[in-house]
Structure 1
Amino acid sequence: MIRQIGDYLRHLRLQIPILIGIRSTMLKTSLDFTREATMHNDWAREKIKAELALRGLSLSSVARNAGLDRTAGSVALKRHWPKAEQAIAKAIGKKPEEIWPSRYPTASGEEPPS
């Protein structure tokens, strides 16, 4: 029974992009986001989550404590959201610029790479 459920779920995972008209090449995976972050010297998502876990926190708890929606933390790992980035950085004890240098201008005033 469990094997049948697993097979069905794998089948669905392969079929959903086709059913909603999205090519699988257009879907980004967490590995893609990690590669992009590494190219810009941003911290990897896993490192940020690990630092929070060492302090007994999660992305959603940090977001809620900052008065943000519980999903704000995970969204901030994917795209620029200054309030959520600030809350995560404060929880880790760093500045947002240290965690996501690609999202903030450098000291010389240059724009970060996009």
Structure 2
Amino acid sequence: MRFFDLEKHEQTKCKLRINGSSLFQVARTVGVSPAFVTHVSQGRKQSLRIQQGIADALGVEPSSIWPERYEQGEGEMTTTKN
């Protein structure tokens, strides 16, 4: 069963606003629908590209936002299997 983290999603949206961005702007930058970015932020879907886009907008690594989605690799991030 997949876990949806709506609290982390709201925190991410707040941090994006503080940094002058939004999930909508991430969607435009990455070239996907805002709904898909929202689903990834909530944990309903997984996309390394969208997670990286959100992280880039925040100036951090995706693993610092969603450590539970990443395993420690040798220089590369990989998503965990759900």
> TM-score with structure 1 length normalisation?
0.54
The partner residue of 2:4 within 33, 45, 49 is 33
Alignment correspondent of 1:80: 46
Task: Say whether the 8 Å CA contact 1:103–1:112 is kept in structure 2.
Answer: yes
Distance 2:81 2:28 in 1: 30
User: Which structure has the higher relative contact order (CA within 8 Å, separation 6+)?
Assistant: 2
What's the % identity of the aligned pairs? Answer: 30
Size of the aligned set, in residue pairs, is 74
Alignment of 1:41-52 (within 5 A): 44-52=8-16
> TM-score with structure 2 length normalisation?
0.72
Alignment correspondent of 2:34: 70
Runs of 4+ in 1 over 3 A off after TM superposition: 111-114
Alignment of 1:11-22 (within 5 A): none
Deviation at 1:81, TM superposition (A): 1.2
Write 1 or 2 for the structure with the bigger share of strand.
2
Write 1 or 2 for the structure with the bigger share of helix.
1
Where does the alignment leave 5 or more consecutive residues of structure 2 unmatched? none
Q: The residue matched to 2:71 in structure 1 has which SS?
A: coil
Query: Are residues 1:89 and 2:60 paired?
Result: no
The partner residue of 2:23 within 59, 64, 69 is 59
Distance 1:104 1:97, change over 3 A: same
Q: CA RMSD in A?
A: 2.5
The partner residue of 2:65 within 99, 107, 111 is 99
Where does the alignment leave 5 or more consecutive residues of structure 1 unmatched? 1-31, 38-43
